[in-house]
Amino acid sequence: MSTYLAADFGGGSGRIMAGTLTEGKLKLEEVYRFANRQIKLGNCVYWDFLSLFEEMKNGLRVAARKGYEVKSMAIDTWGVDFGLIDKDGKLLGNPVCYRDSRTDGIPERVFKQIDQTVHYAETGIQVMPINTLFQLYSMKQNDDVQLRVADKLLFMPDLFSYFLTGVANNEYCIASTSELLDARQRNWSDNLISELGLPRQLFGEIVFPGTVRGKLKQGIADETGLGCINVVAVGSHDTASAVFAVPSNEPNRAYLSSGTWSLLGAEVDQPILTEEARVAGFTNEGGIQGKIRFLQNITGLWILQRL
């Protein structure tokens, strides 16, 4: 039986899931689960990427030992956060958590430089200090050495995929959370990147769900016992995959996806970039099969997780 593995990273935990197709039905099994934690070092809050990557490999080993006939694997994570790699492909530092204070007051600085209404009409993303745009602008304002020497920006699922395959690219759904995409064109906004003075070489090829990103590197294939299986791009922002999996084809349906965050919205064919949508706090994030997830971000289970 053909099995497909999913490495699903949330804000509080990660898991490896196995999906097996049998007689037209999908059977799911949790193979391995592990904690995800934020670590404060000095004045900065990080994600422990090194530990998460090792835990993912542990889960892949467990899947191999269970004897699954694994055809491919894919990765999804929370949004907006990223790692930077240099021209030699080395990780420049542990990714900073979006709950770090480095973006405090940054949106106000950005919108002294660009028009907020025009900005929303292009990107369609609700302004939140956690977004990638403001993290990068904070680094630029502080003349961060990592930003000066970085060659590529990889969002969290892109980063996991890169160290599995050696291939660097940016999946569309996760890239859309950055507030740096042209919502209509579904590609980087070169004008915005230029206006903010961000290094253009950071932003790589956009790939869409269903694209084969590469194969497991030989060393990892041997280490895990899975062989050189394909790593496939999915809706790698976890909400994009969750929304696509809603078991209904009814038109005009709404969804509520709850985890660390809750996301309430609907799928539409084209972004809604009106001033009314901006003022009401809606965001237009990339979905699967060309859809746009028109939604609002709501505080989810994060408070409970922190108790």
Catalytic residues: 238
CB contact burial 248-269 (16+ within 10 A = b; e otherwise): eeeeeeebebebbbbbebebee
For the chain, strand residue ranges (E) read: 2-9, 13-22, 25-35, 38-41, 44-47, 69-76, 82-85, 152-155, 170-171, 181-182, 187-188, 206-207, 212-215, 230-232, 254-258, 261-268, 283-286, 292-299
With 0-12 / 13-18 / 19 or more C-beta atoms within 10 angstroms meaning exposed / middle / buried, residue 144 is middle
Sign of CA dihedral 101, 120, 111, 94: positive
d(CA 94, CA 83): 7
Residues forming a β-bridge with 171: 207
Q: Determine contact, residues 71/168, Cβ cutoff 8 Å.
A: no
Which of 298, 263, 259 lies closest to 13, judged by CA?
259
Please enumerate in sequence order all residues whose Cβ is within 8 A of that of 25, keeping only pairs 6 or more positions apart, or say none.
none
User: CB of 179 within 8 A of CB of 187?
Assistant: no
Closest CA to 82 of 34, 35, 6, 139: 139
Taking Cα atoms as reference points, which of 90, 82, 106 lies closest to residue 156? Answer: 82
Please report, for the chain, how many H helices and E strands are present, in that order: 12, 18
